[in-house]
Structure 1
Amino acid sequence: MRRIDALGFALGIFVAGGLAYALLQLIGLDDQKAGMWSQVLLVSGLLGWLVTYLVRAVGQKMTYHQQREQYEEAFLEKRLAELSPEELAKIQAEIEQERQSQL
């Protein structure tokens, strides 16, 4: 997320809080109750977002992790395609030797 996006998002949250406050006053709540309920809505939204963020971070479903995995996969596929058949056979033989030594 770019800095300007984060600023726009914060401004949007601020405006949403003001609109919730105004809407609750229009419904008929007094100033204090409208302020309290608009804060409850904003804090609930923040906590909900925080939970989804933590789930994505712990599960490594973030965009950065996905992009890194795709890059590493493409890099290894390219390196594998560049190997000559002799080099590939040599690497496969080394892998088999390591497997045998681990057993």
Structure 2
Amino acid sequence: MRRIDVITISLAVFFGGGLLYLVFQAIGLDGLSAGVWSQALLVVVVLAWTSSYLFRVANKDMTYNQQIKDYEDAVLQKRLEEMTPEELRKLQEEIEKEQ
């Protein structure tokens, strides 16, 4: 996730909290209760967002990890393309022996 994405999401959460406050006031809650409920919902949203991030970190499903994997795959593909047919046959025989 890029910095601009984080800033955009943060602003959306901030303005969403203000909107929640106005919605709670519109449905009849007083200012204090509307503030408490909007803050409680914002805390739940932020905790869910943080837990989803921690889940992606734990599963190594981050952009950096994906970039490394893509780079390694590209290097291996390039090495395979550069191999001669003899080398490819030899490699295939080695793989078959291991299995």
> Match of 2:61, SS?
coil
Q: Which of structure 1's runs of 4+ aligned residues deviate more than 6 A?
A: none
Question: How many Å apart are 1:11 and its aligned residue?
Answer: 1.7
> Match of 1:60, SS?
coil
Question: Residue 4 of structure 1 aligns with which residue?
Answer: 4
Distance 1:58 1:19 in 2: 33
Question: Residue 40 of structure 2 aligns with which residue?
Answer: 40
Question: Residue 28 of structure 1 aligns with which residue?
Answer: 28
Aligned residues: 94
Question: How many Å apart are 1:10 and its aligned residue?
Answer: 1.9
Question: How many Å apart are 1:79 and its aligned residue?
Answer: 1.2
Question: How many Å apart are 1:59 and its aligned residue?
Answer: 0.3
Distance 1:53 1:2 in 2: 13
Q: Which runs of 5+ in 1 are unaligned?
A: none
Q: Does 1:77 align with 2:84?
A: no
What is the one-letter code of the residue matched to 1:59?
Answer: N
- Summarize deviations over 1:59-81 as a string: whole Å, max 9, x none: 01123212321221111111122
Distance 1:33 1:80 in 2: 65
Residue identity (%): 49
Moved more, 74-83 or 34-43: 74-83
Q: Which runs of 5+ in 2 are unaligned?
A: none
Question: Residue 55 of structure 1 aligns with which residue?
Answer: 55
Report the CA distance shift for 1:38/1:49 in structure 2 as closer, same or farther (over 3 A). same
> Match of 1:45, SS?
helix
Question: Scaled by the length of structure 2, what TM-score is found?
Answer: 0.78
Question: How many Å apart are 1:7 and its aligned residue?
Answer: 2.6
Aligned CA-pair RMSD: 2.2
Greater RCO (Cα-Cα under 8 Å, separation 6 or more): 2
